[in-house]
A and B are shown apart, each in its own frame.
Chain A
Amino acid sequence: MAVFDLLVNGDRKTVDVPPEMPLLWVLRDHLGLTGTKYSCGIAFCGTCTVHLDGEPIRSCATAVQAVGDRAITTIEGLSPDGEHPLQKAWLAEQTPQCGYCHPGFLMQAAALLEENPHPTDEEMDEFFAGNLCRCGTYQRIRKAIRRVETEDDR
């Protein structure tokens, strides 16, 4: 066990856990932040995506000891009021079905637009290569991201 001082959604949090415990389980079981989801546990589906200093990472395959002093952002911290342009666009397109993979998709999408505000379809394909949705909402996700872009241009 070891003590880690983490910066999560702007708040300092201290946890005492095994150093190799994936960040996913630290968030879910020790910090009560269950918005970040478990689905495959092998970094193959993107459902557990969070940001470390703005970079999207798979929290199921990132040991808490590897986080260091990087700022962790989860779906709960994507925007203070749940009104991030992507969240609004997601609703406007009625995007989720079961919604379980969407925290991961939203975090991945937020990182994409931060890095590349006008991605081509091929760039989107590549950026979402590691995010899976069993309900099949991919087409709406693409439309929702395009909606944010269009609104930005207004």
Chain B
Amino acid sequence: MTIHELTRRDFLKSTGVAGTGLVVAISFPWVGACGQPAVITQEGGFKPNAWIWIDPDGLVHVVYDEHEMGQGSSTGFMKIVCEELGADWAKMVWEPVPTDPSTWERTISTGGSTTIRLGWDPIRRASAQAREMLRTAAANRWGVGVDECSAGDHAITNQASGQRLGYGELAVDAGALPVPEDPPLKEAEDYTLLWRSTDRLDLPDKVRGKTQFGLDLRLPDMLFAAVARPPQFQGSVRSFNDTAARAVPGVVDVIEVEAGVAVYATDTWSALQGREALEVEFDPGPNTWQSSESLLARCKELAAGPCEVQVEEGDLDGGFSGASQTLEAHFETGFLDHAPMEPLNATAHVRGSEVEVWVPTQSATSAQRAAAQVAGVEPSNVILHSMLTGGGFGRRLTPDDAAIATQVAKEKNVPVQTIFTREDGIRHGAYRPAAYQVLKAGLDAEGWPVAFHHRVTGPSPRGLLTGGAESPNYSLPNFRLDHGLEDWGIPLGAFRSVANPHTCFAVESFVDECAHAAGKDPVDYRRTLMEDVNPRLLNCLLMAAEKAEWGRPMGERQGQGIASWFCFAGYLAAVAEVTVAEDGTVIVDRIVTVSDHGIITNPEAVRSQIEGGTIIALTQALKSEVLMQDGAASVSNFHDYPLLTFAETPKIEVHFVESMERPGGVGEPPVPPPPPAVANAIFAATGVRVRKMPFPKAELRVG
């Protein structure tokens, strides 16, 4: 397997945007990631579709039109092609994301755990087209039927004679054939690569410090910029005095742009120092009433008022009136910032009607459109370089980085790299919204739910608030989901698993409460309620209970808790084991997960995703929240927005259901279950229900 190295000139040629007069040589972020020498590519060969090109040397070039942000799906994607094509892994070439998303086959955007599960059909089909054309080319060469020609090991074999022709030898002939519409697909039992672990292609450079992330881009004559922005989301610049800023060595200019006041310098530090020296007066805008407390109070008002019904099944009121007992619990979760380790950044070069942008983005399509809009050009006039990304988690689906960098660069005739410091990023996020949820259940005499009401309140839009609550994984007769939402003018976005972490926290904690109120074991209780509704999730739940030795004796102030969830076509159950210290500190000792993702293309990479999803989930449960004050975020960096640490990492044991179902999602499913599993374990350890994230330590203190 090789990673393609291209000069800028080659790249322009191969992507059909030659003639722009650009000859800046840049290295692509993944160049040499496998320590392989650069590929010298021969022209010609055949290209049955947009993704695949087999050259006369037999190298299989694959356009990975998704984003590698550490989730490893680039390797999984390449494996799907290799498997279906019957190719040699060493002859696969990873080609960069296309630089003109506006003319590409599909939207270039990576989110929702979709790369593998939604790529599964088109990418296998694209690969099978190439394979079938190679088979036909060989059959024609030998004058035999196609059925007598089998594909594998990077060659077509004449089954009768044993003759072989390599893919490179057939590439030119194959190119003269029609592309089959509906090629047959390889049978799952014949897979030799999927469900087996393959070393990730992006890692060798990463351990050597050679990977070029967005912030590592260096271009001739480039400037660096930082933008002073109003702290309030709806604020604006009233006036500024740049005398002191301009006196900072290295600062070359100060210009007001739409987002704020940009300070340009010859290096990053000087830009930041210049911004520090800038005197700006901001208008805070209309929302200074907003604080974490006032917004929670507003949620409670919304929860008390009329709410809009999203799902209604059966007769809720009738269910409650026939119930033997009624339970009600309220769950609070705060705003979250993704805080990827690579801070937001983008580099732009605006040359009249032509724009070039380099950005570590999850959505090249959105970034191209955003830059085009700012520059006042058509999207196709924006050359969009999708850089390797130092963490995304959904933050890089919002193209504010590309938009602001283009505003900044528009004022200059050289490339400008705009850096958003950690503080900039946390104060101007695309936050996971805060939510306040009211859950109410009516249980019959045996403790089974006969009415279940889930109310979600917080900022709109609905998709970021109620997702995951619409279709419970339990048999819940007389069910209602409703919501009270309003626009607060706070920038929101999708954070890994979107609404599921807070809806799962509420539902899986509350179902545990119901189980206890019913006097039943939480696993047994869930089993009965889940078996008719979600057998695959139940399978994970029962396996997790078994792997974790559910019910094993625990020490004082120790406990086990369980939770499970289905989202993004992935099923995951987690058992948590915790120790709660006398001062209320929650120590998570162990997390056992069992998940079902259908066919897994690269198990070790998926295992890594589950481990990481667990850590990001525990950070939400135990550590951080973006607090609001005076209409702005009042936290700014890792000292007041802490992440889970090395020492706080539990033993994480990951198990998979060996499934041959079509691939499901991976990145997001591990995030929702751990927090409620830990909360349920805390209850088992202390008898206290925690219904707020991050968990309130004070409620768990002894005495």
Contacts and interface: CB of A to CB of B under 8 A. Distances in A.
B46 interface: no
Contact of A134 (B213, B249, B269, B391): B391
Contacts of B216: 28, 34
Please indicate which of the listed interface residues B207, B216, B273 has the most CB atoms of chain A within 10 Å of its own CB: B207
A87 B208 contact: yes
B209 A74 contact: yes
Contacts of B72: 97
B203 interface: yes
B224 interface: yes
Contacts of A128: 645-647
A76 interface: yes
Interface string B43-76: 0000000000000000000000000011110000
Given A91-B199, A133-B341, A75 B208 contact: yes
B391 A35 contact: no
Given A29-B267, A35-B209, A129-B645, A99 B638 contact: no
B203 A135 contact: no
Nearest to B393: A134
Given A40-B637, A97-B71, A25 B612 contact: no
Given A132-B645, A138-B646, A47 B210 contact: no
Question: What is the predominant secondary structure among interface residues of chain A facing chain B?
Answer: loop
A98 B249 contact: no
Interface in B391-440: 391-393, 419, 421-422
A135 B70 contact: yes
B342 A39 contact: yes
B652 interface: yes
B200 interface: yes
Nearest to A96: B206
Given A37-B341, A134-B339, A106 B207 contact: yes
A103 interface: yes
Nearest to A34: B216
A132 B196 CA distance: 30
Contacts of A30: 267
A26 to B, nearest CB: 8
Nearest to B68: A98
Interface string B603-646: 01100110111111000000000000000000001110001111
Given A42-B637, A94-B200, A135-B70, A25 B206 contact: no
B652 A139 contact: yes
A90 B207 contact: yes
B649 interface: yes
A121 B199 CA distance: 27
A141 B215 contact: no
Given A45-B341, A99-B390, A129-B645, A140 B218 contact: no
B268 interface: yes
Interface string B194-237: 00010110111111111111011010000010000000000000
Nearest to B341: A100
A28 B216 CA distance: 8
A41 interface: yes
Q: Which range contains the number of A residues in contact with the other chain?
A: 35 or more
A137 interface: yes
Given A135-B70, A136-B612, A44 B638 contact: yes
Contacts of A140: 608, 611
Contacts of B204: 82, 91
A132 B208 CA distance: 19
Given A36-B209, A41-B421, A91-B199, A97 B70 contact: yes
A141 B645 CA distance: 12
A94 B70 CA distance: 11
Contacts of A1: 249
B249 to A, nearest CB: 6
A13 to B, nearest CB: 15
B269 A21 contact: yes
Interface in A74-96: 74-76, 78, 82, 87, 90-91, 94-96
A117 interface: no
A94 B269 CA distance: 34
B611 A103 contact: no
A125 interface: yes
A101 B611 contact: no
Nearest to B602: A94
Nearest to A75: B209
B521 to A, nearest CB: 30
Interface residues of B, number: 66
A100 B340 CA distance: 9
B28 to A, nearest CB: 14
A44 B641 CA distance: 11
Nearest to B204: A91
A32 B340 CA distance: 23
A65 to B, nearest CB: 13
B343 interface: yes
B576 to A, nearest CB: 15
B625 to A, nearest CB: 16
A103 B71 contact: no
Contacts of A38: 215, 268, 343, 419
Given A29-B224, A38-B215, A98 B390 contact: yes
Given A29-B267, A134-B393, A82 B646 contact: no
Contacts of A76: 208-210
A62 interface: no
A102 B206 contact: yes
Contacts of B212: 34
Given A22-B269, A29-B224, A37 B615 contact: no
Contacts of A98: 69-70, 340-342, 389-392
Given A47-B341, A82-B207, A134-B391, A25 B616 contact: no
Please indicate which of the listed interface residues A34, A45, A97 has the most CB atoms of chain B within 10 Å of its own CB: A97
A91 B203 contact: yes
A68 interface: no
Please indicate which of the listed interface residues A38, A44, A45, A74 has the most CB atoms of chain B within 10 Å of its own CB: A38
Contacts of A138: 615, 644-646, 649
Given A134-B616, A138-B615, A140-B608, A94 B211 contact: no
A137 B341 contact: no
A75 B268 CA distance: 20
B643 A134 contact: yes
A131 to B, nearest CB: 6
A124 interface: yes
Interface in B221-279: 224, 249-250, 267-270, 273
A94 B605 contact: yes
A126 B637 CA distance: 21
Contacts of B207: 82, 87, 90-91, 95-96, 99, 102, 106
Given A91-B203, A98-B70, A135-B391, A44 B639 contact: yes
Contacts of A124: 646
Given A21-B269, A82-B207, A129-B647, A135 B342 contact: no
Contact of B643 (A90, A96, A126, A132): A132
A64 B281 CA distance: 33
21 contacts: A21-B267, A22-B269, A29-B268, A29-B269, A38-B215, A38-B268, A39-B341, A40-B422, A76-B208, A76-B209, A87-B207, A91-B199, A106-B207, A128-B645, A129-B646, A132-B643, A133-B646, A134-B341, A134-B643, A139-B611, A140-B608
Interface of A: 1, 17-18, 21-22, 25, 28-30, 32, 34-42, 44-45, 47, 74-76, 78, 82, 87, 90-91, 94-103, 106, 124-126, 128-129, 131-142
What are the 3 tightest A-B residue pairs by CB atom distance, in nearest-first order?
Answer: A35-B209, A136-B615, A98-B70
